[in-house]
Structure 1
């Protein structure tokens, strides 16, 4: 029972930390959840299933064991580490794209027969860049 009480308090703490009403919280967790569902979780009358619990943990940046009350470590370091790893991977991808673009431009410049050819390549690249911006 202690785990259930602890879980209920921690779920409520996550919702309050996010500044959400029970209805707003329910909508972020699952389209089938309602404010009554959240009220049941927060009173310990019922607990969310594994999928919903994982979603709550994700939203609150805490671990599932913490939400379940089996750990006192919210696990925020794990979330921070994952975010930093993702940021590092994105930075590396950006550097790779920049390096590839520079190599592409070098090859274009050295293989263009005339300034007109080079000008045509530049116009093409600008058009493609604009098209890519619309995908962001």
Structure 2
């Protein structure tokens, strides 16, 4: 069917061969890679747990929790969801939106002081 479509549009046999997809396009990754990633996920989860165990507070606590969360999510997406082996356009389609969400959250955090000041100034007397 695909050859007929290519032939109908005047493509040469060489072009049809270049566009042919080999039957075995997905290679299995070595089990060692998955075991190493599981080990790193365990280490990062332990670090996240230790943040609570040691009772860290404030910006340090939330920075560490978010850093551990992003590292774990990145490992899971890259290896277990096979994004490390996908085309760059598809990887950007998956990665860019969460990064933009983090940028907007950072903007909201910076803006929150102004919002609090405005509320305290104009609504404190009510």
**TM tier, smaller:** 0.3 to 0.5
Calculate the TM-score normalised by the size of structure 1: 0.33
TM-score scaled by structure 2? 0.35
